[in-house]
Structures are given as structure tokens and as C-alpha cells.
């Protein structure tokens, strides 16, 4: 599935990245490349559609045009600069937290508070790529705000009704897996999360647009979506880029 262009001008693109598409490829060996084991990525689509972007970025050979990222399993709004000058501008906005990010997430259970702040440093678990608020290894400060939009009774993994909550989430820092780790740390992991959630997931976490074979290959649909980015595309002007939430709830 290709990204959808939300907005475009001479400086940047705003796109809606689909779930299941990685932003940029991991470094792979020449042997794997020759065997065709390179997984499709957003950067492939970008360079094909906008060849000038192949020279933009901190590491354009691997991440052309990428100034921020979303997890492979996460869908939603991304900004892509078309020039190196605008890359540096957007990079400065992200670095100074001058871009407001709003996500929506469906989580297991009902939260005790309708809104709150999770302020917990995130580190890497020894021997894995997973993150945890309990690990001190390479731990960095992380802050996430959340607000309950609504609660729902929906079929659980065993098809019996269970409690779920729809949240609006704003990460105030930009750590890897931040929202996923923070919500799991308070006992409310995101539905469809293969890394931080339970092994058994509700059937509705799988997108109906996929075939059975694709469902088996891709696993559950992570119920996390980057709903909007609000920022100044230039000094003195504010824009809000939004992408419709693609969740298919029963």
C-alpha cells in the first residue's frame, strides 16, 4: 500500500504512512540484497516519485528525506523535506519540540484517570531491542500526555466482551517506541502490539483490507496512529496536517 499525499508545496510533503510499511530499510548485507531480501520502505517510494530527495538528509544513502520516523506498525502523518535547507529547518523544529504531535491509540482496559502524564525514562532491555521504563541501560528522559476519548466494550482475544479505551496521546519527547512502552508500563498496552502487548489479540486488530496470507505474514494491526502534526512551515504561520484514523472497530 502506497502512502497518501496530504499536502505538498515546493519545500515539503505531508504524507499519511500506512501501517506495515517501514520508513527506511535496515542495513543489510550485499548477499541479502542480491537474494532480494530487502524489504520495501517509504524511502523507496519517495526517491522513485521525487528523485531530488535522494540527496536530502543526514544519511541520504540510507534515509533520504527522513527527518523523523514512525514505527513500521504505526500509521499516520509524516513530514518529508524536499531540500536540504528545509530538512535542516524541520530538524530544528523537531529538536526544539516546536512540532505538536497528536496520536490516537486503542488500549486494553479502562484507565483510572481520564487524563494524565507518564514521566518515566526509557532504556534498552539487555540482550534485546525492546525498551523498558525499568531498564537503566542507555536510559533517556521520556514524557507522554494522554487523554481518554471514550471507553468501549468490544470482543476480546477470546471473543468475549472486554473493556478497551480510545486515547488521544501527545509525546513531549521523541524516544523509540515511547508511546507503546509508556502505555504498557501503566498496564494498558496498545491493542495489536506484538512487542509490548499480550500474545493473544482481538480479531478486529487485523485490517480487513488484507488477505488471509497477508494477515498471517503481517500479524496484528497496531492500533496506534499519528493523527496530526501542528507546526510553523515558516516563521509567523501555523499549519496542522491531519490524517483520518484508519481503525476498523467492530
- Asked if 3 and 15 count as a contact pair (C-beta separation under 8 A), the reply is yes
Query: Minimal CA–CA distance to 79: which of 41, 89, 247?
Result: 89
CA atoms within 13 A on the CB side of 205: 31
- Assess contact for 56 and 84: CB atoms under 8 A: yes
**Is 119 designated active site?**
no
3-state secondary structure of 142: coil
By CB atoms closer than 10 A (0-12, 13-18, 19+), residue 69 is middle
Q: Which three cell numbers stand for residue 245?
A: 484514523
Which member of 2, 44, 58, 71 is catalytic? 71
CA 16 vs CA 75, 118, 153: distances in Å: 7, 27, 29
- Count of alpha carbons within 13 angstroms of residue 214, beta-carbon side: 11
Catalytically active residues, by annotation: 71
Amino acid at each position: 500500500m502506497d502512502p497518501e499525499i496530504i499536502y505538498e508545496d515546493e519545500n515539503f510533503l505531508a504524507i499519511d504512512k500506512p501501517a506495515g510499511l517501514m520508513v527506511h530499510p535496515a542495513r543489510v548485507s550485499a548477499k541479502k540484497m542480491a537474494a532480494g531480501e530487502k524489504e520495501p520502505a517509504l524511502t523507496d517510494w519517495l526517491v522513485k516519485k521525487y528523485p531530488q530527495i535522494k540527496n536530502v538528509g543526514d544519511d541520504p544513502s540510507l534515509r533520504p528525506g527522513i527527518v523523523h520516523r514512525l514505527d513500521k506498525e504505526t500509521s499516520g502523518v509524516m513530514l518529508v523535506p524536499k531540500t536540504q535547507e528545509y530538512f535542516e529547518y524541520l530538524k530544528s523544529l523537531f529538536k526544539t519540540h516546536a512540532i505538536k504531535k497528536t496520536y490516537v491509540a486503542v488500549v486494553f482496559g479502562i484507565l483510572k484517570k481520564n487524563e494524565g502524564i507518564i514521566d518515566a525514562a526509557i532504556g534498552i532491555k539487555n540482550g534485546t531491542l525492546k525498551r523498558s521504563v525499568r531498564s537503566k541501560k542507555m536510559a533517556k528522559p521520556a514524557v507522554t500526555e494522554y487523554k481518554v476519548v471514550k471507553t468501549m466494550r468490544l470482543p476480546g482475544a477470546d471473543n468475549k466482551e472486554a473493556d478497551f479505551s480510545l486515547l488521544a496521546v501527545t509525546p513531549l519527547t521523541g524516544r523509540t517506541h515511547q508511546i507503546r512502552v509508556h502505555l504498557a508500563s501503566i498496564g494498558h498496552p496498545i491493542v495489536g502490539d506484538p512487542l509490548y502487548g499480550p500474545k493473544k489479540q482481538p480479531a478486529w486488530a487485523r485490517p480487513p483490507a488484507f488477505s488471509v496470507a497477508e494477515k498471517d505474514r503481517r500479524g496484528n494491526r497496531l492500533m496506534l496512529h499519528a493523527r496530526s502534526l501542528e507546526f510553523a512551515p515558516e516563521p509567523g504561520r501555523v499549519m496542522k496536517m491531519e490524517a483520518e484514523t484508519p481503525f476498523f472497530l467492530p
